[in-house]
Structure 1
Amino acid sequence: MSVQDDQREKQMVDRFNLVVPEGRRRSDIDAHLTIDGQTIAFELKSATSKGVSTVRDLGPNHFAKWKDIHWIFGVYNPTGTQLLYSHYASPDAMIPWISSKERYVLPDVELAEHAMRGVKEDSVINLLGKKDFYTKEDAEWIMKKQWKAAQYAEAADLSIGKEIGYSLDRMVELMQKRCHYVMSRGATLNNPHIPPSYIAKLPKITAEPAITLRELVRAYLESTSSTDEPTA
């Protein structure tokens, strides 16, 4: 995140009286608020004349993450220094745009799944030979820097003394995971923009932003809860 984007995000957090999760990492939600005992997660974006940038590698993980996310789009002046007004989007309001991107990458996602299922024992044996005990170094050669030390330890199903190891079946699983990871990297979109025309149709917030946002969120929660109620 650039310094300017970071400043804009902090400005929106203050403007809407939101809370940033403690120890937040880049992949975590941007902020949240609590309404009627419910914690509402938010994605915060600043809008320009070209629309809103999203993420570099938009794929299945983001679609899953965004399923229940609420959005705030801050519209700034031409220099990007002053927040003029904002738009609020409920999870339902974002479904058309997210679904269109999800459908676009679906063939590549299926291709990654198909390729993963094609990894068999011969795939491991051709690379590493047939062994009764594959070492952590063997596993690291397959998984590279995708995993942390704790994940290698958790995946191990054999040991000799203090040395962890892996059976052939487990190495097949690891290679399948790596195959899926590599293929899935291609099943993404590079920072697709949400167009201004899409954002302009969303509820606009100008005055009393913190209060107005809570009113909009509460109205959405009430509407979804009413549709979830069983009918006689």
Structure 2
Amino acid sequence: MAGNFQDDDREDAMRKLFKLYKDEKEGRDGVDAHLDINDKSIPFELKTTSKGSVTTVRDFGPDHINKWKDKHWLIGFFIKGKEFYHYATPEKMSDWIEQKANYIKPDFMLADLASQKLTLDDMHKVIGEKDVYSYEDARSIQKMQYLKEKYIGLQDKENGYSPERMLEIFQDRGKYLIERGSTLNNPHIPLSYFKDCIEITENHDEVLRSLVTEYLDKNQ
């Protein structure tokens, strides 16, 4: 936990150093930082490392692929007393993201195919056979994976679910459980991946704005 606090402190320091901001309305799981430039709000993923390689997330899966594909990255390196930063464009990060996406793709396809094979008989063995299933029945299967609003929205019977709708929820849970075993545990990005990036060591906000502007001009 202490390491997380250190990372949070470093990310806060990076926002100040590069004159970025976090939209607090997005909450803790929102975009790490934004840069307003040319009437655009540019989303940034912030990472820090003291070991060279850059850690990412505990359960890397399709959600992160979608989240990161258009993000700009800013990485702070704190290695052996040396402090420097690398800016990586979405184009720069796309190769690494695509490589990881291709690695997990077969497993997630398998999760989808396997979950669709679950039948009403399979469901009856787990939660019994009923004409109408209750909210409590659905929640016993999907637990905290759905918000209450989604549970209510899925009801196709008065205050409940038909066997066919309950099977959809049952299959969705099966898919989720298989996918949990298909995610990557904190894939690292090696320092060598950033070898062609400019080291930012001074005039931090000015250099970053210049690099982002150059990228935007090239990719409009």
TM exceeding 0.5: yes
The match for 1:145 is: 144
Gaps of 5+ in 2: none
Q: Is the 8 A contact 1:89 1:203 kept in 2?
A: no
2:24 aligned residue (19, 22, 25) = 22
Within a 5 Å distance, the mapping from 1:22-171 to structure 2 comes to 22-78=24-80, 84-159=83-158, 164-171=159-166
Give CA-to-partner distance per residue, 1:176-202, whole Å, 9 cap, x none. 211111111111111111101112322
Q: Cα distance 1:49–1:130, how it changes in 2: closer, same or farther (>3 A)?
A: closer
- Secondary structure at 1:158 match in 2: coil
Amino acid at match of 1:201: D
Deviation for aligned residue 1:129? 3.5
Within a 5 Å distance, the mapping from 1:182-193 to structure 2 comes to 182-193=177-188
In 2, distance between residues paired with 1:73 and 1:155?
42
Amino acid at match of 2:63: N
Q: How many residues align?
A: 218
Question: Percent identity at matched positions?
Answer: 42
In 2, distance between residues paired with 1:215 and 1:119?
54
Gaps of 5+ in 1: 226-232
TM-score normalized by the length of structure 1: 0.88
Q: Is the 8 A contact 2:45 2:72 kept in 1?
A: yes
In 1, distance between residues paired with 2:154 and 2:36?
38
Cα RMSD over matched residues? 1.6
- Secondary structure at 2:73 match in 1: strand
Give CA-to-partner distance per residue, 1:39-86, whole Å, 9 cap, x none. 11101111333411100001111001001000001112436xxx7221
Amino acid at match of 1:144: K
Q: Which consecutive aligned stretches of 4+ in structure 1 deviate over 4 angstroms post-superposition? A: none
The match for 1:224 is: 219
Whether 1:208 and 2:184 are equivalent positions in the alignment is no
Amino acid at match of 1:137: E
Q: Is the 8 A contact 2:135 2:151 kept in 1?
A: yes
TM-score normalized by the length of structure 2: 0.92
- Secondary structure at 1:19 match in 2: coil
